[in-house]
Amino acid sequence: MSVASTLLLTAALFTASAAEVDGAHTDEDESWSSIPIYLQARGGLAVPARSNGDVVSAGLSVGILTSDTQAFGMRFIYMHSPPENPLANKTPPLPYAWGPVVDWTYTAQPDKRASIFTTVSAGYVYGVPEDEKFDNVILPILEGGIGLRFSRRMEDGRVLYVAPELGLVPGAVAPMSALNVGMILPGSSKKSNSSASRASGSDSAWGGAQ
């Protein structure tokens, strides 16, 4: 599968998921014209038990807030010197790998300046071995982490946050650390003032203190 095909496929899947969740917010109690969106950059460092050296990764993600405490998004990651595939007998050396990962995040106290959060991610990355005798390598990604998010709401309603995180990549038996930096764009409601008031409360998801 080419790089262009992979990008088109993952973009289509994410668009379909976002539309499905957006449709869930059109009942009588709460009708959204747009739902809150988050943009995030992430840098990570993992130390696989079955490798020599560490694995550095970087990613950009976009997602939606499905409730005050939960978010769902898509992250595209780049990984330098990825570890071996735990599901394969042998993995040829890869200079780098990249691919899409789906993130689910739960924030315990979204209206506080500081809150504990947890994230579960699943997806894959793929790379091209330097030795042309080998085919492309697909590496499954499954990771979980817990961290502390510090946030601040701006006057225009946007929320800026910084969130250090510790976690584990089970397949590679790799403890990891990461730093997330992001911004939340508030959603808007099509309802009247009373409903808009409720929507603004929902817009405060992951809101933090001013």
Burial 72-88 (b: 16+ CB within 10 A, else e): bbbbbbebebbbbbbee
How many of the other CB atoms lie within 10 Å of CB of 14? 18
Measure CA 191 to chain center: 30
Q: First-to-last CA distance in the chain?
A: 47
Statement: residue 122 has pLDDT above 80: yes
Sign of the CA dihedral running 200, 202, 206, 209:
positive
Non-local CB neighbours of 26 within 8 Å, separated by 6+ positions: 32
* Residue 148 tokens, joined: 């502390």
Q: Give the pLDDT of residue 184.
A: 96
Statement: residue 198 has pLDDT above 50: no
Q: Give the pLDDT of residue 170.
A: 86
Q: What is the pLDDT of residues 58-117, one digit of tens each?
A: 999 999 999 989 999 999 999 988 887 777 777 788 889 999 999 999 999 999 999 999
Statement: residue 141 has pLDDT above 70: yes
Q: Give the pLDDT of residue 210.
A: 57
Mean pLDDT of 163-178: 91
Domains (range + CATH), the chain: 3-203 (2.40.160.20)
Q: Give the pLDDT of residue 15.
A: 46
Residues 196 and 198: their CA atoms lie apart, in Å, by 5
How does the average pLDDT of the chain come out, rounded? 80
Angle (nearest 5°) at CA 210 between 197 and 112:
80
Non-local CB neighbours of 52 within 8 Å, separated by 6+ positions: none
Residues 186 and 21: their CA atoms lie apart, in Å, by 16
Measure CA 158 to chain center: 18
